[in-house]
Structure 1
Amino acid sequence: MDETHVRMRNDRPAVTLKCPACSQATPHRLLYVKNGCDILQCRDCGLGRTEAPRFDPLAYYDEGYFSGGQSDGYADYRGAEAVLRHEFGRTVKFIQCRKPQGCLLEIGCAYGFFLDEARRAGFEVSGIEPAEAAAAHAGDLGLNVVCGLVSEAALKSLGTADVIVLLDVIEHLPDPQEALALLADHLRPDGIIVLTTGDFGSLAARSTGAHWRLMTPPQHLWFFNRNSIALLAHSVGLRIDSSDHPWKFVPFSLIAFQVGRMLGRKIVASPTGNRFAIPVNLFDAMRVVLSKAPL
């Protein structure tokens, strides 16, 4: 199905599904069908979900995902390295205001640009990345990166962390509650988890519906609002310390690529577009800091 072909299906009765944020079975209503996937929403907490039982993240997140090979990936991740590093450096400074140093683990670390910036700032870093080519490039930078998905074995091999970072990652995870529980177990008592994800409760998300820029199934499996993130965190012994909607410097090539996707056109990244960044804030992406809740 073409990405722009959306069928509204509000006439179906609600179905009962296990909600990872509510930690119990709750009624879910069908919002619409997009890219052949049912998009449902928990009536209790507002968490949106993509029904994609055959989705295979290890097959999906290949080198093409980072180089314009897929309509909902990146235009040219490596080509935009300078811009990405600048933005990642700003995130490192944000983290240092809360944790000046220590062991930092990034989930979904791609080519290692963020980890390298954190290492330069004095953190002891490691990462987990499912895409083989990206993980190999991070290894070439001298970074300790495990290729694969979040698992007990991978986390055990990397040890506990003072800071765990998930930048636009949690919405990709097949089971966010299980993954966050594993991360909480490997977080040191005074550590923090910093994550960014789309805000499904934002004005932009609510007003554009199926055409929201982050409504890209099957890549995005979950659509969180602040309430559902808080409930998910609470279910694994974490609490929200802070949340905001930060500005980001985004490569012009990525903006053009995403606009082209929404218009049904493929726009190839150019070296010029990779070098320039535009400050963007549609207030539909949130940054959340989590810590362990007191016993």
Structure 2
Amino acid sequence: MPEEMRCRVCASAGLVDMGPCAAPAGAQWTDADGRLFRCPECALGQRHPIPSEQALIAMYRETSDEEMAYPYEDNAAWSLARALLRGRFAHHTGVAVLDIGCHTGAFLAGLPAEWNRHGIESARGPMNIAREQHGVILIGERIETIEQGWAGKFDAVTMFDVVEHLPDPSAGLAAAARLLKPGGTLMISSSDLDAWTWRWLGSGHWYLQTPQHLSVISKKFLDYVARRESLKMSDFHAIPHRRADIATRYGEAIRAFYWGMRSRGGIWRIPHRVLPSLPGLGHLRHMQSVPWTMTLKDHFLASYHR
């Protein structure tokens, strides 16, 4: 790690090298895939190096409407956020909601029909679907470029699987909070760097197979942002990325445990050899890359209030 490397958020030195980021599925790791570092001061997990801003913008504009297309109830963050927002604004009229990174507007479409739906999105195809099929009012393409006139206009602002795409999540959260009315709610969902799958798999976690995932946060980082931006955290829920039955969750946990033993080596080679010999686990021998633990609780939904 170069001596001059500092945290992208708080500029602290002494970043902890967590190792090489997981290579995209089916590919060999290269220097371009980067390494994951954690800041001892603000706790941000950050990939170095990262693509240029221009390259990232181009990637997002080409995102298809089929990506991130999950059934509403299977999306744990969406379904929990909807329930919390309905409870929070049960007796309010004209509720204005902004979904940052709204994609096709599917989350907004599941909210009460009388609420006012707004979105921020840069992908061309999804933008059209959000506007034409779900009646979403699009106010911009990126949180960094939203006009000042939108400040203080929204009862709720949501960010699902967005902050991991930001080089500086603190700045993104601060910009989102400025769009809230006094007493408004900011909801964030992303992967949790302190979840057990991250502690076990480290920088080899499947989440980093996506090169656009630049940052990994946790409650420690969110607490840091709350202090820095004078926000109040009201809720923090550990959730999976997608809901599934217990058999699916058990299978993912076993595969994650197995892959982690393989990555560690040493004394872990013994249980790594033994596990596939157990009934029903022979398929583990054929694993070629880190498993996607989308049904395990390695995500969170958190809320701030102004």
TM-score range (shorter-chain normalised) is 0.7 to 0.9
More strand by share: 1
CA distance in 2, matches of 1:85, 1:283: 12
CA distance in 1, matches of 2:171, 2:122: 17
Corresponding residue of 2:19? 32
CA distance in 1, matches of 2:214, 2:40: 17
Q: Against the structure 1 CA distance between its residues 86 and 132, is the aligned structure 2 distance closer, same or farther, given a 3 Å change threshold?
A: same
Residue 221, structure 1, aligned to residue 219, structure 2: no
Contact 1:89 1:118 in 2 (8 A): no
Q: Deviations over 1:173-210 (max 9, x none)?
A: 23322222222222111011011111101111010113
1:45 aligned residue (19, 42, 47): 42
Give the superposition deviation at 1:16: 4.4
1:150-189 mapped onto 2 (5 Å cutoff): 150-154=143-147, 156-157=149-150, 160-189=153-182
Q: Against the structure 1 CA distance between its residues 159 and 145, is the aligned structure 2 distance closer, same or farther, given a 3 Å change threshold?
A: farther
1:98 maps to a residue whose letter is R
Q: Which secondary structure state, in structure 1, belongs to the residue aligned with residue 83 of structure 2?
A: helix
1:47 maps to a residue whose letter is L
Residue 282, structure 1, aligned to residue 265, structure 2: no
Give the superposition deviation at 1:81: 5.1
Structure index of larger Rg: 2
Contact 2:100 2:119 in 1 (8 A): yes
1:134 maps to a residue whose letter is P
Q: Against the structure 1 CA distance between its residues 212 and 140, is the aligned structure 2 distance closer, same or farther, given a 3 Å change threshold?
A: same
Corresponding residue of 2:52? 54
Q: Against the structure 1 CA distance between its residues 130 and 214, is the aligned structure 2 distance closer, same or farther, given a 3 Å change threshold?
A: same
Q: Against the structure 1 CA distance between its residues 128 and 251, is the aligned structure 2 distance closer, same or farther, given a 3 Å change threshold?
A: farther
Q: Deviations over 1:242-294 (max 9, x none)?
A: 10113564589xx9xxx9xx8459xxxxxxxxxxxxxx6422111111112xx
Q: Which secondary structure state, in structure 2, belongs to the residue aligned with residue 61 of structure 1?
A: helix
CA distance in 1, matches of 2:37, 2:111: 37
CA distance in 2, matches of 1:25, 1:242: 28
TM-score by length of 1: 0.73
**Which range moved further: 130-139 or 92-101?**
92-101
CA distance in 2, matches of 1:195, 1:54: 24
Contact 1:190 1:291 in 2 (8 A): yes
Q: Against the structure 1 CA distance between its residues 157 and 214, is the aligned structure 2 distance closer, same or farther, given a 3 Å change threshold?
A: same
Contact 1:15 1:29 in 2 (8 A): no
Q: Which secondary structure state, in structure 1, belongs to the residue aligned with residue 143 of structure 2?
A: coil
Q: Against the structure 1 CA distance between its residues 13 and 62, is the aligned structure 2 distance closer, same or farther, given a 3 Å change threshold?
A: closer
Q: Which secondary structure state, in structure 1, belongs to the residue aligned with residue 104 of structure 2?
A: coil
Q: Which secondary structure state, in structure 2, belongs to the residue aligned with residue 111 of structure 1?
A: coil
Corresponding residue of 2:6? 17
Q: Deviations over 1:19-65 (max 9, x none)?
A: 42xx3433212222234212211123332101204253321124555
Residue 92, structure 1, aligned to residue 90, structure 2: no
How many residues are paired up?
Answer: 249
Corresponding residue of 1:129? 121
Give the superposition deviation at 1:84: 6.0
CA distance in 2, matches of 1:189, 1:63: 36
1:129 maps to a residue whose letter is E
Q: Against the structure 1 CA distance between its residues 62 and 123, is the aligned structure 2 distance closer, same or farther, given a 3 Å change threshold?
A: same
Give the superposition deviation at 1:98: 2.2
Q: Against the structure 1 CA distance between its residues 109 and 282, is the aligned structure 2 distance closer, same or farther, given a 3 Å change threshold?
A: same
2:115 maps to a residue whose letter is F
Q: Which secondary structure state, in structure 2, belongs to the residue aligned with residue 58 of structure 1?
A: helix
Give the aligned CA root-mean-square deviation in angstroms. 3.2
Gaps of 5+ in 1: 1-11, 68-72, 266-279
Structure 1 vs Structure 2: percent identity of aligned residues? 21
Give the superposition deviation at 1:216: 3.0
Give the superposition deviation at 1:234: 2.1
**Which range moved further: 194-203 or 281-290?**
281-290
Corresponding residue of 2:108? 115
